[in-house]
């Protein structure tokens, strides 16, 4: 998995590239394709996951299957953390 850090809409000093990559390597991460009426040329996905240090991150990304471009990354809200934990509990 290769990441492209061009056009990031977040501060790479507050959320580092290795932290973002950890979320994508999280075996319990959740990746979603949002419902949208706008079918643009690039489909964007959501990822919810945890870093090794238990930081919950929410990302919006694009991929062609080989290259991942993270457009936005931020800490999860309380509701998103609850969703992430609930979904993981259902799968165990």
CA-angle at 59, arms to 53 and 61, nearest 5°: 135
Q: Is 54 left (phi over 0), alpha (psi -120 to 50) or beta?
A: left
**Residues 17-55 as b or e (16 or more Cβ within 10 Å = b):** eebbebbbebeebbeeeeeeeeeeeeeeeebbbbbeeee
**pLDDT value of residue 54:** 94
Q: Would the pLDDT of 39 be above 60?
A: no
In sequence order, the β-bridge partners of residue 88 are none
Q: Report pLDDT digits (tens) over 61-83.
A: 988 888 999 999 999 999 999 99
Q: Report pLDDT digits (tens) over 81-90.
A: 999 999 999 9
Q: Would the pLDDT of 56 be above 80?
A: yes
Q: Is 3 in contact with 17 (CB distance < 8 Å)?
A: yes
Would you say how long the chain is, in residues?
A: 92
The whole model's pTM is what?
A: 0.86
């Amino acid at each position: 998995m290769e990441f492209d850090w061009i056009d990031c809409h977040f501060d790479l000093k507050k959320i580092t590239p290795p932290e973002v990559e950890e979320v994508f390597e999280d075996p319990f991460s959740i990746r979603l394709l949002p419902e949208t009426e706008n079918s643009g040329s690039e489909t964007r996905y959501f990822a919810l996951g945890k870093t090794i240090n238990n930081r919950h991150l929410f990302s919006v990304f694009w991929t062609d299957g080989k290259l991942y471009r993270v457009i936005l990354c931020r800490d999860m809200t309380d509701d998103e953390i609850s969703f992430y934990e609930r979904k993981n509990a259902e799968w165990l």
